[in-house]
Each structure stands twice: as C-alpha cells, then as structure tokens.
Structure 1
Amino acid sequence: MKIAIRLFVVFMLCLGANAQDFEQVDATIKFYPKSFDEVTELSEFITRDFKTDEEKLRAIYGWIINNVRYDPDEYDVFNYRFKNYRERNAKEEVTRKKIIQRTLQKGVAVCEGYAMLFEKLCELQGIHNYLVRGDVKTNFKDIGRPFQKIHMWNVAYINDHPFLFDPTWGAGKYNQKFIKEPSYYWYKTEPTQFIKSHYPDLVEDAFLEINVSKQTFAKFPLIIQKDMVVADVISPRYGVVSSVENPKAILFQLKTPAPKVISYSYDFGNKKRLVDFSIHDKLLTFEIKTRAGKNLIVYFNDAPALAYKVE
C-alpha cells in the first residue's frame, strides 16, 4: 500500500497539537532510546512513565513520529505472496511481527510499519484499538478515481470513545525523499477533518454523523485549508469542474470567513489575484475564469486552500 506523494496535504502537517497540555509527555519521550530490539522494551518505558490511556497514546504516537522515517523501499523487504487463505493468515501474522521489529530496530517503515507498531503498543498497554485500511486523497490524480486500499491508519479508544490517528502522515512528508516534520495534527484528528483526505474500507470507521459513500469521497475537491471541512464547500461541490457547464467562469461559494487576499493559479503557474469577492451571511462568493484541461489551485492569503480539475 504505497502512500501517495503529498503535494497539498503537507500544508496541514505543521499544525499544532490538541488543546490538552502534553508538554510533560512530549518532553519525556525525547529521552527514550531512538531504537529498540523488542516492542516490549518500549512498552515498559511507557508503563513506567505514564498512567492514563490518554498519556500513553500520546507517548506511543509521539515516539513513532519522532523516530520512524518513511521509506518506500520497505515494500521490497517482505513477501506478501501466498498459496491459500490458511497460508495467508499464517504468513500475515509472521510478517506483522517482522514488520514491527524492523520498524523498531531500523527506524524505517511504510504505513504498515507505523500503524502496526502503534497497534501493538496499544495492545500491550491494554488500550482497545484496531487497524484501518483505506484510501487517501492527496493530489489532482486522486480526484474522481475509484476507491483503492492504499493506506493504513489507526483507531484507538479513550473512555470508550473512538479516536483517529495516522502516525505515518504525522511523521512528515515524502517527495522523492523523506522530510521529517513531526506533527500532532494526525493525533485524535476530528472525523470531519479526517474525511477530507482519508476514507476507510468500512464506512463506519469514519465516525461521521452522516455517512459519506466511497463514490462521493472520490468526487471531493482537495480541501487544504485547516479550518475548512467538506460541508463548507457549497460550490463547486465536486472536484471535477465542467468547462462546458461553466464556459466563462467558475462560481465559488464557501462557508468560511473572507480572507484578506484570494488568488488562484492553473497548473502551478503564476498566481492571479482576485479583486472582486463578497461575503453575505457568512457565505464567501467569488468567480474564477475558466480554463479547460487545467488543474486549478485557489489560495487564501497566499496559502493553498482548495484544488480542482477543470475538464
């Protein structure tokens, strides 16, 4: 399950941690060894230093994102081929153990290593959790394509309430090489934020009040701005915009505060600043000139906010 190169989601990785103060937890794990021979060794450190499930989850996530780097070459290390389901089950369990150990010892992994190590540490701490396989939306090519199980993340429970975690994306970004940027944005991420870029194989693992189908997720534009969620995008609702239906201009209507500056670019070209835009009853409205066959990026205050394909 190769994680896609993130050209837009990277702008969300530098966001701050959750409201709760975890300064002591974050400081403590910095003194832990950078690698371990066995997962039980790291678990014993966590048991010694922390009492609550909340603190332990923070320590688990924090150690992983600070000490494991993403390396796509890890896909070539393990053999996933099998003759039948019985062999598959046996091989998967053996492979899982090897992936976890290699992640700990070498400090390299792909999404399986990050997620399986997180899962195992939660298990050793007695924290109810499970793995989630699913799709991710990170680039123009992901808009409108069929669902694919190309990524893995985690669900863990605190006081019987489920929370979403993605330690792979929390570790940094990959674009030809790994760039370490530890972030707690993907720690207990709100479901309405998570669904902008992640879709689980089983819809109930999205934990949304109103379920979104795989087909609808595929149609979403790339929603990059931190505070914006899917429900805020009124028009264009979907990420593929027809130049036939919008021959001259594309009408944008968004439930968001007006930025000081709105600009746009096609195919990563020069930004063009919009002069005319309005806001009424908290609905931001503006138009962008249509250019067929191009990829459109909308910027708020010079930061990418939304992205579409114009066909």
Structure 2
Amino acid sequence: MAKYIYIIILLFTVPSLWGNPKYEKIDKESKSVPDSLKTTEKIAKYLTIELKNDDEKLRALYIWITHNIKYDLDQINSEFQYGSYDEMVEETLKARKGVCGHYAQLFHYMCKSIGIESFVISGYTRQLGCNKISELDHAWNGIKINDKYFFVDNTWAAGYLGYKGNYVHEFKDNYFLIEPKKFIKTHVPFDPVWQFLTNPISNVEYQKKDFSKLNKSGSFVFKDSISVIAQLDTITQIRKKIDRIIKSGITNVLIEREIYEDEELIESLTYDKWVSNYNAINDNINSANDELNLGINFSNIFIGYMNKNFRNPKIEDSEIKSTIDKMNLHFYQGKNQLKKYKPSVYNLKYSGENEEFIRLTTNYKETLVDFVIQLERIILKVEPTIIKDTDYSKRYLKKWKPLRDLVPY
C-alpha cells in the first residue's frame, strides 16, 4: 500500500550571508557536477571524493543542493503520493525542483551514501523577531558529526519568497550546521526528541517565547532516546511520538494536524500489517490445499491402475509403490500443514478502529475460515480412501503375482 508523504514549506525574506571564508574553495567547486551524474550516490561521491572532514563533505552537498534545486511554489499545500522515498528523491533530481520534503530527503540520501548520519525532521517554524507561527509545516535535516548534533535547512538556504509572492532562488548561508540552542529559536520539531537538547523547549514555552531553559542544564538524554527509537517497530515509534507531542502541548493547528496524520498513518500501517499477516497465512493454507490436491491426484492415478487390474499397459510394482508413497506424502503433508496453520486463521484479528478496514478484514477472514472448513470436509471424505488404498496396495504387492487378482479390496 502506498504511503502518503505530506510536504509543505514556508519561505522567508531574511538578510543573506553570502558565504563562509572557511569553505570558500569548496563553495566555488561544489556548485555544479557533470551532467552525466544522475544519482544521489554518484553526485555525492563526485562532490566529496577529495574532501577529508565530514563538515567539508556536508558543505559540498549543501552548496550543490541549494544552488541546483529550486523551490516549486506550485507544489505548496499539495499532497504527494509516493511508493517510496527512493521515488521521491529520484523525481527531485530529475525535475531539479521541489519543496522542503524533497530538499530534506535529497540531502539525507546523499549523506547516507557517504556514511554521514542524517535525520529528516518535520516541525513548524517562526521567523526570528516574528510572533506569528507559520501556517505551514516544514522539514529539515539533523546531522551527527564527531558525536555532536547540528541542523541544516537546505530549503531556507536555497532562496526566499519575494515581496511580490515570487520565489527568489538566491543562496543565503544562514542554515548550515546550526547548533540546537540557536536553531530552536526558529525551527521546532513536532517530536521534542529531535531538538537535540538536554532540556527541550515545550510547545507551550515556544509559543510564549520562553527560552529560559536553554541556559540551564537538563537531564534528558536525547541520544539514548534516538537510539531506542531506531530499535522500535514503526507503529510503536509513532505511538510514542504522539505521546511526546501531546506532553509538549498542542498549541497550534499544525501540531493538531501532525497528530491526526500520525494516527491515520498508524491505522494504515496496522491494516498493512494485518494484510501482510493474512497473505502469509493464506499462502500457507493454499500450499496445504496444493499438497492435498497432489495427494488426491495420486490416489486417482492408483484407482485408475486398480480398475484396469494393473494391466493394459502393465504397471510395474515399483510404479504402484511409488504412486502410493506419493499419495501419502502429499496428502498428509497437506493435512498436517492445514492443522498447523488453522489456529492462525481463527486468531486473525484486526486491532485498528477504521470501520472500513474492520469490514474488509472481517470479510477476508470469513472467506478464509470457510475455505479451511471446506478443506477439512475434503480430508474427512478422502482420507478413508487413502487409508484403504494404502492397505490394499501393501497386501497386493506382498501376494504371489499369479494370485494377486484374488486379493480383496
């Protein structure tokens, strides 16, 4: 099932810093790559192959993306449907445009390809000196280098919204490797874990512009939390994320929408998980059915031999024995497999709350239960014949050949 990726962005007109002397050479050499390079891996390798330090490598990626990917105003407030993030990144490279989610995922993929730990973070924003929270959510990157955490916002660095509502693709060097205590003034992750702060700012505090915590040492070990999150299954990750967001305070409509979309995603993933489990069980039941059919097929072959008194053409003893052995092998393998997986059919239960999903899963389960019952009836009907044919074949093969026609069935 395809997952929905919601990507929206707010752009600001802010003073620009045109470059950092420390990276002057890298900035000059990283604005373009050969046209033949079409993938994140190849572009990232080309940009960083001669660089030694992680911050220099990140700088090269940052410069290339901000100078080559334009913001697409037509996509604001659009809902994108992608089968995977791979597809999303591929589209970004091909079109050379996108919105915040495209920028963040592209940077993330490039970082991964050169072995730098990166995170795509979603949240809401507010321009410095402005009281108004953005009406649109945003996405950016967290970076871990030398066991320290920083932020990069390629979207805001790539350009800004002009006074006439047009996009100005003009680089401004304000958003590269920004420390958490500074970044939190303008960017608030929905999930407080991704603030990279030992004393996270709550949504309530952010609304009041209360940053007094930043001057105090906290006890929250975000590194451990990130490590734990990585080990959880996706549904549990999202549930715990929702709990943390609620605890931080629901102070604006963006937070409300994030929680709603996360709850919808949980429902979708829960259904996907049920379908995956159903398909696996269904495959096993069908496999049992296939084995039973093979066993019944060999039983029919034996009955055909027997009806012709094993003549015309003459059936060798080895063929009779082989047919009976295959009949038993497949029939009982199917029977045992059905017995093994029957409980899992009856235990299928959908744990979500979506009424449509409940109806669908109920119908699918009932159909599979009916199929299991049908197979059990077939087994009850056919097994006596399997047993009888097996017994008869043993007695028939033991008998002296001239007297075999006298062996009773």
DSSP-derived class of the 1:49 partner: coil
Q: Which residue of 2 aligns with 1:152?
A: 139
* 2:57 is the alignment partner of 1:51: no
Q: How does 1:1-311 map to 2 (within 5 A)?
A: 1-6=7-12, 10-12=13-15, 14-15=16-17, 17=19, 21-33=22-34, 36-74=37-75, 79-80=80-81, 91=82, 94-138=83-127, 143=132, 150-175=137-162, 176-220=165-209
Displacement of 1:207 in angstroms is 2.5
What residue number does 1:88 align with? Answer: none
* Superposition deviation, residue 125 in structure 1: 0.3
Q: Distance in 2 between matches of 1:129 and 1:218?
A: 28
The aligned amino acid for 2:190 is D
User: How far apart in 2 are the matches of 1:212 and 1:35?
Assistant: 45
Contact 1:127/1:157 (8 A) holds in 2 = yes
The one-letter code matched in structure 2 to 1:15 is L
Instruction: Answer 1 or 2: higher relative contact order, Cα 8 Å, separation at least 6.
Output: 1
> How many corresponding residue pairs?
205
Q: Give, in angstroms, the shift of residue 78 of structure 1.
A: 6.4
How much does 1:123 deviate? 0.3
Deviation per residue, 1:13-64 (Å, 9 max, x gap)? x13555x711121111134247953222202312433232121100011101
Scaled by the length of structure 1, the TM-score of the pair is 0.58
Instruction: Provide, for residues 189-243 of structure 1, a one-character-per-residue CA deviation record: whole Å limited to 9, x for no partner.
Output: 132321121101222322335321112212339xxxxxxxx56xxxxxxxxxxxx
Question: Runs of 4 or more off by more than 6 Å in structure 1?
Answer: 139-142
* Bigger-Rg structure (1/2): 2
TM-score, normalising length: structure 2: 0.45
Higher strand share: 1
SS for the counterpart of 2:141 is: strand
Given that 2:126 and 2:133 are in contact with CA atoms closer than 8 Å, whether structure 1 keeps it comes out as no
Q: CA deviation at 1:77?
A: 7.7
**Which structure 2 segments of 5+ residues have no match?**
1-6, 213-409
Displacement after TM superposition at 1:164 (Å): 0.6
Shift of the 168–54 alpha-carbon distance from structure 1 to 2, 3 Å rule, reads same
- State the distance in 1 between where 2:51 and 2:79 align: 34
Shift of 1:103: 1.7
Identity, in percent, stands at 29
Contact 2:121–2:141 (Cα < 8 Å) also in 1: yes
Please report how far the alpha carbon of residue 157 of structure 1 lies from its aligned counterpart in structure 2 after TM superposition.
Answer: 1.4
Query: Comparing both structures, which one devotes a greater share of its residues to helix?
Result: 2
Q: Distance in 2 between matches of 1:35 and 1:108?
A: 18
Unaligned runs of 5+ in 1: 81-90, 222-229, 232-311
